[in-house]
Amino acid sequence: MTQLHDLTALEQAAAVRAGEASPTELVEHFLARIDALDAGLGAFVTVTPEQALAAAAAAEARLGRGGELPPLLGVPTAIKDLNNTAGVRTTFGSRVMADFVPTVDDAVVTALAAAGTISLGKTNTPEFGYPCYTDNDVAGPARCPWDPSLLAGGSSGGAAVAVAAGMVPFAQGSDGGGSIRIPASINGIVGVKPSRGRISNAPLGADVTGLGTSGPLARTVRDAAAMLDAMSGPVLGDFAWAPPLPAGETFLQAADRSPGRLRIGRYLESPLSGVELEPEIVAAFEDAGKLLESLGHDVEDVPRGLVGPEVLPSFERVWALSGTLLPVPPDRVGELRPLTRELRARGLAMSAQAAMESLTALRLFARRFLQATAAYDVLLAPVVTMTPRPVGWFDADGDGAEDFERNKRYAAFTALFNVTGQPAVSLPLHWTDGGLPVGTMLVGRPADEVTLLALSAQVEAARPWVNRHPAGWDYTR
């Protein structure tokens, strides 16, 4: 028997419009799943049942009035706890901010509400979003629902777990170095990092580094595309913005069209020297290349030598720069986790000259890289270098510097495309013999989410994954 959580987000929206399910039924159903499943998985930091039920009642009143309705009316979602939500606790994964309640919404929160979605709460994230795994002193680790002894990835780990375990049909995440794609890979779902400037970081995001952006995590490409439609668009005053789609076109429409025959480059050069891929990661990469060839695309290796020795140290310095802006009182610095303290200290010790040289080096590299790979419609690359790591693997010795080194070795490919600003997606195309998902990364040309989504939907149709579920999926009240 089909349950409400078996429906995709778009199917739930259609059910609301057809009167086959009400927003209140959806909200109550997913709140019950959070209550039953989340204690063992750590997807949420804060759950907001009162606000969600009030929003559901407002959505039903809107249905009763008729007229034009937003596209995702009544569909539950969740907001990452790095994003400000007016009147709802926003901890940034830090006990220093455990009681902080913003007075404003981030623009992406406003946009999702305007599209009709209903947030059920705030999803788990590491402290200030620094590492590629999710664990903190507020809510503990986010655990992979396929094997709860393993970390769910980060920094959008809670969002990915919530989607993979069926606690919400899709969720908002953010990605400054792989933070959507990594947890999507680990949890067996779709994660899209949009182009730089596609989604606004207003009102407080200053875009100093240009690395981070919000994006969707979903079970299907079409759901991710619909969520991207809802989130996209600039706010006056944004530092950068991607060119809009032609009038009347949507990303959801892109997911319903053929990509045509594409030239796809296999990319295996990381900024981190000496990177070795685990056999399962190699198998996933090779399998994805063969699948793309079977779909009629031209697949070839991208020449090496595109990443110079300046890229990794420049990225490390730029990554640490954000630590200089952390809202941490001097007398509470000792409460930060070791990795946060390490990166904050590096940022504060950096000279203005070193910071500007690093930013400049990354922007020059991005221009050269994009020009060198311009002949390819899409790049194919690994998401991570290893299968999911056990809880405690990154920070077992309490050394922030070693924690950072392990992050770099694990996530050696994703951050490159935050530097270039290209759109990228993780798709769950491979599964280990032990039943763990391994994502495949596809990277589009700048501002070309359309081709990327069309190809992703084609791949999904050839090898569907929506009916693969972790334990607990069939839970009913």
Report the catalytic residues: 80, 155, 179
Asked whether 466 and 221 are in contact (CB, 8 A), the reply is: no
Asked whether 412 and 272 are in contact (CB, 8 A), the reply is: yes
SS3 string, the chain, reads: CCCHHHCCHHHHHHHHHCCCCCHHHHHHHHHHHHHHHHHHCCCEEEECHHHHHHHHHHHHHHHHHCCCCCCCCCCEEEEECCCCECCECCCCCCHHHCCCCCCCCCHHHHHHHHCCCEEEEEECCCHHHCCCCCCCCCCCCCECCCCCCEECCCCCHHHHHHHHCCCCCEEEEEECCCCCHHHHHHHCCEEEECCCCCECCCCCCCCCCCCCEEEEEECCHHHHHHHHHHHCECCCCCCCCCCCCCCCCCHHHHCCCCCCCCEEEECCCCCCCCCCCCHHHHHHHHHHHHHHHHCCCEEEECCCCCCCCCHHHHHHHHHHHHHHHCCCCHHHHHHCCHHHHHHHHHHHHCCHHHHHHHHHHHHHHHHHHHHHCCCCCEEEEECCCCCCCECCCCCCCCCHHHHHHHHHHHCCCCCHHHHHCCCEEEEEEEECCCCCEEEEEEEECCCCHHHHHHHHHHHHHHCCCCCCCCCCCCCCC
Amino acid at 411: A
Check residue 305 and give left, alpha or beta (phi > 0: left; psi -120 to 50: alpha): left
What's the burial of 391, exposed, middle or buried (CB within 10 Å: 0-12/13-18/19+)?
A: buried
